[in-house]
Structure 1
Amino acid sequence: MTNCGLVNEKNELVPLKSISVEVRVQDHVSTVSSTLLYVNEEERPLEALFVFPLPADAAVCHFSAKIGEQEIVAEVQDRETARDQYDDAVSSGQQAFLLEESAESPDVFRLSVGCLSPGQDAAVTIIYVTELDVQADHSLRFCLPAVLNPRYTPAGSVAGIVSEISSGCGAAPYTLTLSVHVSSPKPISKLESNCTLDPLVFLRSDHTQATVNLSPGHMFDKDVELFLYYQDTHQPSAIVEAGVATAPSGSLMRDPVVMISLYPEFPEEVMSSLATQGEFIFVMDQSGSMGEVLHHGKRAQTHIESARDTLLLLLKSLPMGCYFNIYGFGSRFESFYPESVEYSQNTMAQALKRVKKMQADMGGTEIVQPLKHIYSQPCKPDHPRQLFIFTDGEVGNTKEVLDLVKHHVHSHRCFSFAIGEGASTALITGMAREGSGHAQFITGTDRMQPKVMQSLRFALQPPVFNISVDWSLPDGITVDTLSQPIKVLFQGQRALIYTQLKGESSGGSEGTVTVKYRLKDQLVTNQLHFCLKPTEETGLAVHRLAARTRIRSLELEERSCNSDVEDIRRKIMELSVQAGVSSVHTAFIAVNKDSRQTVKGPLLQGRVQTYGSFDLCGIVMKDSSDRCGIVMKGFRVSEQTFHCCKPTKVTATRLNGFMTKVQNFFRRGSKTAAAPTVQTNSQSKSDAAPDPQKDPLLQLVSLQKASGCWDLDATLADAFGKTLDELTNQKPAQVEGSVWATLLALIWLYGCKIDQRVEWQFVAMKAVSWIGSQKVGDLSECVCVGNVLLGCQVTKETLGI
């Protein structure tokens, strides 16, 4: 594999030598400091461009560059002013650095490094703060993005920073060091990762502080995920952070700011009965990149294979009497049915036949058109619409998608799933946030099924209405809420509220926040008491997160507002500059005015649009010879012309996926894109079906009827590793065949797959409900015989029958 990263006309590496990351986790907030070391090994002054990912909700709050012993700290300025200042500096031979956020997707940033002298190095430091996501097992997830997939830009869309995302290949040509310091009010139970870590070292006997390092030799080819476990992670909490005394009076940075973390607990009687109605629409990405492999370990699947398995499980888990439809999309889209159909054995069986034929063969990733088509369909009365969107997130027009989802939020809930490394966090979390749903990320060796089934449980929860937040504070103190109003609450999921405290207290040191909402016919109240005394050693992390939250709200208001746009933009820029936090209208600019060198000719910026995975090393070199180049999976793209490079040994799957991307590249390059088409079940794809399911659980689930029962036949016996005669001969005389088969399936699930219960919980609930509707005598003997037959020890009470 040829080298990649910053290359010259001789295809030689590289100014980026190393990345060093320090992470400080304080309770639910992380501060990340990343230092990138560049070295110019060319014989001429160099300008480099680096496009890289950050978490969608990150607040970038510091940018500096150290050249030799001199450090230049960047300032936040109006974006156009910063760009002009950068261009002027570089053209006059001064060293300059420009960091700006993508206008299309807030999780993509571009770093321009200008005028590095021959042999000179520069250490660029970027600091950002972000909240940690709470997982289903109550762990806190930290993610350091390493992979930035190319984003598909539909014809007619304005190209921007996301169109500059370059491809990477093989191992990253630099080193990564990562150290993590964790502190928490609660003891730290453990820390896990998808990467190899050194042993966790506790710094205090009460286990409230600890450090850990990434083991040497890590190849930075996947996102680095850390999962932190505290005792009582899911308990409500409040962080009060003091303001800056020198900030302007009345400003956000001057006053104290509070971050409230709430975990609503719904009444047990409400949660015991999930909804049996709804319209479930599953939207599946079938673009060429879905043919890539999730990981390279045992039983590795492509994205589309894992998605097919998940659709099988979802279809088997739906309640009888609901409605459903399935869409596939790429450069075009198609639906299984012209409109959502009632869930029955017949419609489920039809859908499963088509699911087996779904392939990653539909070109680019254009999600807007299928969404518009779905929203144009009338909703089913008394069946709330639930949208499940599966994608690898390679979408360039993120904000257009989010605005569309938000515009239709009152007609549906949106649950989004990111498949594989490098998916756009802005797209996935944004669709769920604007659609009052929930987002999930499936990376590495993660199984998609448990995460999707957790979201299905959320979708089946009754919706929460009339959410209100009330504050009780000492006299003289008022609150200014910076977050958008809470639109959705799910059992056990965190809700964040940022508020600015104004005024002076005349006495009292405690506040109370009360959240009220209606759940079915009940009025539910959750309350949190907190101390107004500022928490120590938080820096300004909470203020910057609060500023980021307010800026995102204003940006959304700006896009949806027909008037006062200039006033909103002014507010965004003022808050961004005041808080030192990035926004779409500002940029970080640093200029070394002491440096000046002769430049032969202008330093022109290269614009090369390539497609493939991006491993934090997609850097385009630009110099006075007006050349730019980058390597793309065995090809070198130079001035948008393909030239063959050294031969590369690749698998058939990777080759097919790559050729699909090359085809998409030329398709995207055309002046006009083909009009989207809608295809219904009368039009089918290839009749070739994939290999039969080898996963025993999925094999059993695939045999269940829509009503919840199983047939007593040879395929069921094979799933148990038995013969049909063995199952039939042991059947108690008074029990009908389907009841016996369904009982055996339940016994096998509880006895052999209890660790995967989250995946089959709805399948089992349907089975129990079906058995309850049958005329069956004493089932105790049946359960005993079934245990002996299948080698299990499950009680009738465990089965819930």
Structure 2
Amino acid sequence: MRHDFTINPSVPARRVYISVADTPASQASTEHPNRICSQTETYVSSKKIYQHGIFCGLLTAQKEPVPLKSIEVELQVRDHVATVVSTLNYENKEDKPVEAVFVFPLPGDAAVCHFSAKVGQTHSVAEVKEKQQAREEYDDALSSGQQAFLLEESDQSPDIFSLSVGSLPPGESTSIRLEYVTELAVQADDGLRFCLPAVLNPRYQPQGSEDVSVQVTSVPASLVPYSLSFSARVSSPRPVSKVESSCSLEPLQYLNTDQTQAMVKLAAGHKFDRDVELLIYYKDAHQPTAVVEAGQASAKPGTLMGDPVVMVSLYPEFPQSVMSSLASCGEFVFLLDRSGSMDCSINNSKQEETRISSARDTLLLLLKSLSMGCYFNIYSFGSIFKHIFPKSVEYNEKSMEEALKKVEEMQADLGGTEILEPLEYIYKQPCIPKQPRQLFVFTDGEVDNTKEVIDLVKKNAGSHRCFSFGIGEGASSALINGLAKEGGGHAQFITGTDRMQPKVMQSLRFALQPAVADISVTWDLPKGVSATVLSPPITAIFQGQRSLIYAQLTGQCLEAAEGCVMVKYSLAGHPSQNQLHFRLKPAEDTGLTIHRLAARTLIRCLELEDRSDRGQQDEGVKKKLVELSVQSGVSSSFTAFIAVNKDSGESIQGPLERRNIPTPRFYSPMLCSSPTMRLHPVPMMAYPRVYDSADLVCESTELLETYHFADLTESYDDVEDEAAVPQQPLRGPLLQLVSLQKASGYWMLDAALASALGKTSEEVEKSKPAPVNKEVWATILALIWLHGFKMDVKEEWELLAMKAASWLRAQNAPCVTECVEAGNVLLGCSVQKDALGI
């Protein structure tokens, strides 16, 4: 039997019909010899595709050789700036010339600054040119039989690049060198995060948008036919304390006695099943620094590349009196991705925890950590969006319980990833006076309209702070970082073995910090020297978190001279400032790294300015942007790198064969949200089966053609009933205890609490000091258990414990010390009363 997946236009959206055409399985396997097909039957439920028998999947459209053989990556980290050199080695083993096209991810804030190709003994260095001009030169070169190389950024998302290697002759080898620089983001635990994106999941294309997305050929990680080697060298003025990774690394090697230089390599056999993430930790990381870099000798003075550029890293420290009491007011809006890809596991281990189940647990912790009197609402989105309340409501016991009940029912069942519409709806809701809006966005970040989403957040930046969370491998760094940067918040990535809860709770603490207002930057420089700030205005400052400033220095001064930069701001109504003195003498051996990062920063600002009026391009801004990109040698959305090998001798004869280089994809194609798919209507069979789904995925838009099945082996109704009631994973003791806390902060003394504490109701009741009421006793027991058994995850429960301690203090209960002593005896702990905050 042959079953074709088709969409019948006569039924509402989100209903998929599976129709049947009689084709012998033997004939089908001859027609599609590269497919893995087996005797099986599949149907689609509202949550996922269920299968009877063995899994039936697709590999690649054709069994074609892949000319990309290996990728070698060398990372050089200097303090918190990274230079990445990637060498891509190609070899054409076919008997005809080929054009190899590779679509791959890069960090969204990377400044691509070098692109060259070596064919035999010929070395070609690419130039940056206006994008359309570069494309035309590439096509002209291919049509005349010349070898050509084109590297361009996606029009829709700055973290996707396309590399075209044209006219690679039979038997020829080519090495492509790609270099970029990037800033390393500071995580909430003070680690500097570098990510080499190795996974590119198909990006969801919003309904109704133009089909302008780059077509990505992706395969499961196990089928990637090329290898990856990776090494990193880290150097800093401060000692390197450790380097961690979600991937297997060889042991860290220190290169000097003071441990300020270190080397680490990726262990052999990396399977492309995850991004290569490094977390670098320095001792005394929160030290403000300023690095002055000399201009390019060949560039004209007065230009960005001709003048010195300074990069200032500030770590503002707020007064302890302000930080001792976190804000209790605010409107907290949580926006949760419920597209089909959220049903995938966070990593590729055998653990059963999915992205959506982790998000549900995280929302539980968030809701329990809010304070009485604040406001909140929860939105979720896929192909449509939903909200728990029509508008944000005051946080109390009734609203919290209603929200938690709805959260428990949430599944990854809303189809695609339409994030723009719910954001527009949220921003249309009026802000609540004296309740600053804090937006938390949870998504696996695979959308095709990244720039449009970021533009919307920037437009509404004055009304809120946005905290974003990229979940799982392949999350778009451009989207996640862009949301936080333009929304004045903080970005976090949850990958590998990371748990979502501690990172989200760290961001909640940032959200509870008082908003900083009236931020200004002033410079005190020697006479005759001036600074032109290249960075966008600072819109958000958090305690201990880095703020970066790039500035072009104009004029002459003695190298021994000093300058000073000062950031002034208002914190909780009190004027504050942080300043840094620095030498104007240029640092040695920095190349043009800082200039290129500064250029990239300015380019991004201009790109946002160009899109300020949606749909109308500012030709003046575009011209300025192209000139800056060409001058600095840094790519942009309007330019591309083009290299033509004009010394290759005889022109290459014969038609080119196009070879799409497959990109590793993390998750199973059958469980995750879809790119645009080519599905064609066919006549319905006499008794059609109807299956709920809007979230089918194939490995590329070209591959969803035919699946082969055997007859049904069990009834649809039996399996559908099973799918209708999602199986919730059992919660661990911590979440069991947290789920029992009331909105105002206390716990009830009942059997559920006793069970969470690992005791019987009788044991808990008998140990209670007589004069104390049950709620006080229960709350003290919960706090002792948290401090006694869960200190390793304190960041997850610290805020709700503070709320509980505040409730206890308000009760003025007698015998609190006696209760703590009795609680320690009952639970087998030795927690001091002062540690509980009561």
Whether 2:681 is the aligned partner of 1:661: answer: no
Distance in 2 (CA, whole Å) between partners of 1:616 and 1:253 is 39
Distance in 2 (CA, whole Å) between partners of 1:50 and 1:469 is 43
Matches within 5 A, 1:747-766: 747-766=784-803
Deviation at 1:298, TM superposition (A): 5.8
Aligned to 1:267: 319
Aligned to 1:63: 115
* Deviates most, 382-391 or 686-695: 686-695
Deviation at 1:164, TM superposition (A): 3.6
Whether 2:785 is the aligned partner of 1:731: answer: no
Distance in 2 (CA, whole Å) between partners of 1:430 and 1:255 is 29
Distance in 2 (CA, whole Å) between partners of 1:500 and 1:330 is 44
8 Å Cα contact 2:231-2:264 kept in structure 1: yes
Aligned to 1:678: none
Whether 2:630 is the aligned partner of 1:594: answer: no
Matches within 5 A, 1:370-409: 370-409=422-461
Distance in 1 (CA, whole Å) between partners of 2:599 and 2:693 is 41
* Deviates most, 506-515 or 95-104: 506-515
Distance in 1 (CA, whole Å) between partners of 2:76 and 2:634 is 18
- Kindly provide the CA deviation profile for residues 588-625 of structure 1, in whole angstroms up to 9, marking residues without a partner as x: 0011112344443476798x9xxxx941799xxxxxxx
Out of 363, 380, 394, which is 1:311 matched to?
363
Give the TM-score of the pair, scaled to structure 2.
Answer: 0.86
Aligned to 2:750: 713
Whether 2:664 is the aligned partner of 1:615: answer: yes
Question: Residues 602 and 18 from structure 1, CA distance in 2 versus in 1: closer, same or farther, beyond 3 angstroms?
Answer: closer
Aligned to 1:573: 626
Matches within 5 A, 1:769-788: 769-788=806-825
8 Å Cα contact 1:263-1:491 kept in structure 2: yes
Matches within 5 A, 1:228-307: 228-297=280-349, 299-307=351-359
Out of 187, 195, 202, which is 2:254 matched to?
202
8 Å Cα contact 1:151-1:165 kept in structure 2: no
Matches within 5 A, 1:151-162: 151-162=203-214
Aligned-partner residue type, residue 760 of structure 2: T
8 Å Cα contact 1:466-1:517 kept in structure 2: yes
Out of 625, 632, 638, which is 1:585 matched to?
638
Aligned to 1:185: 237
Deviation at 1:172, TM superposition (A): 2.4
Distance in 1 (CA, whole Å) between partners of 2:798 and 2:60 is 56
Aligned-partner residue type, residue 586 of structure 1: T
Matches within 5 A, 1:211-230: 211-230=263-282
Distance in 2 (CA, whole Å) between partners of 1:617 and 1:716 is 40
Deviation at 1:721, TM superposition (A): 1.1
Deviation at 1:166, TM superposition (A): 3.6
Question: Residues 776 and 632 from structure 1, CA distance in 2 versus in 1: closer, same or farther, beyond 3 angstroms?
Answer: closer
Deviation at 1:61, TM superposition (A): 0.3
Out of 805, 809, 813, which is 1:768 matched to?
805
- Figure out how many residues of one structure are paired with residues of the other and give that number: 753
- Kindly provide the CA deviation profile for residues 133-185 of structure 1, in whole angstroms up to 9, marking residues without a partner as x: 11222221111111112111112323334444644452422211111111111
Out of 530, 533, 542, which is 2:585 matched to?
533
Deviation at 1:65, TM superposition (A): 1.0
* Deviates most, 151-160 or 594-603: 594-603
8 Å Cα contact 1:474-1:507 kept in structure 2: no
8 Å Cα contact 2:93-2:170 kept in structure 1: yes
Aligned-partner residue type, residue 781 of structure 1: E
8 Å Cα contact 2:559-2:585 kept in structure 1: no
Out of 405, 419, 424, which is 1:353 matched to?
405
Deviation at 1:381, TM superposition (A): 1.4
Distance in 2 (CA, whole Å) between partners of 1:165 and 1:401 is 25
8 Å Cα contact 2:293-2:310 kept in structure 1: yes
Distance in 2 (CA, whole Å) between partners of 1:663 and 1:258 is 45
Question: Residues 323 and 663 from structure 1, CA distance in 2 versus in 1: closer, same or farther, beyond 3 angstroms?
Answer: farther
Matches within 5 A, 1:783-798: 783-798=820-835
8 Å Cα contact 1:356-1:689 kept in structure 2: no
Aligned-partner residue type, residue 753 of structure 1: K
8 Å Cα contact 2:195-2:278 kept in structure 1: yes
* Deviates most, 352-361 or 169-178: 169-178
Distance in 2 (CA, whole Å) between partners of 1:61 and 1:293 is 36
Deviation at 1:311, TM superposition (A): 0.6
Aligned to 2:81: 29
Alpha-carbon RMSD: 2.9
Question: Residues 200 and 662 from structure 1, CA distance in 2 versus in 1: closer, same or farther, beyond 3 angstroms?
Answer: closer
Whether 2:734 is the aligned partner of 1:697: answer: yes
Whether 2:545 is the aligned partner of 1:545: answer: no
8 Å Cα contact 2:273-2:666 kept in structure 1: no
Unpaired segments of 5 or more residues in structure 1?
Answer: 619-630, 644-655, 670-685
Q: Identity of counterpart residues, as a percentage?
A: 59
Deviation at 1:687, TM superposition (A): 7.6
Give the TM-score of the pair, scaled to structure 1.
Answer: 0.90
Distance in 2 (CA, whole Å) between partners of 1:435 and 1:390 is 14
- Kindly provide the CA deviation profile for residues 417-473 of structure 1, in whole angstroms up to 9, marking residues without a partner as x: 101011111111111111111111000110100110111111111100111111111
Matches within 5 A, 1:606-685: 614-615=663-664, 660-662=696-698
Matches within 5 A, 1:6-155: 10-155=62-207
Q: Residue 170 of structure 1 aligns to a residue in which SS?
A: helix
Question: Residues 467 and 165 from structure 1, CA distance in 2 versus in 1: closer, same or farther, beyond 3 angstroms?
Answer: farther
8 Å Cα contact 1:356-1:690 kept in structure 2: no
Aligned-partner residue type, residue 758 of structure 1: E
Distance in 2 (CA, whole Å) between partners of 1:187 and 1:617 is 35
Distance in 2 (CA, whole Å) between partners of 1:571 and 1:241 is 23
Aligned to 1:495: 547
Aligned-partner residue type, residue 356 of structure 1: E
Aligned to 2:13: none
Question: Residues 10 and 353 from structure 1, CA distance in 2 versus in 1: closer, same or farther, beyond 3 angstroms?
Answer: closer
Deviation at 1:780, TM superposition (A): 1.1
Distance in 2 (CA, whole Å) between partners of 1:91 and 1:792 is 78
Distance in 1 (CA, whole Å) between partners of 2:114 and 2:381 is 39
Question: Residues 514 and 198 from structure 1, CA distance in 2 versus in 1: closer, same or farther, beyond 3 angstroms?
Answer: same
Distance in 2 (CA, whole Å) between partners of 1:117 and 1:18 is 18
Q: Residue 233 of structure 1 aligns to a residue in which SS?
A: coil
Distance in 2 (CA, whole Å) between partners of 1:496 and 1:138 is 15
Out of 299, 305, 325, which is 2:377 matched to?
325
Q: Residue 660 of structure 1 aligns to a residue in which SS?
A: coil
8 Å Cα contact 2:336-2:442 kept in structure 1: yes
Deviation at 1:220, TM superposition (A): 1.9
Distance in 1 (CA, whole Å) between partners of 2:604 and 2:348 is 37
Aligned-partner residue type, residue 590 of structure 1: A
8 Å Cα contact 1:48-1:114 kept in structure 2: yes
Whether 2:837 is the aligned partner of 1:800: answer: yes
8 Å Cα contact 1:20-1:177 kept in structure 2: yes
Distance in 2 (CA, whole Å) between partners of 1:428 and 1:249 is 37
Aligned-partner residue type, residue 184 of structure 2: L
Deviation at 1:574, TM superposition (A): 0.8
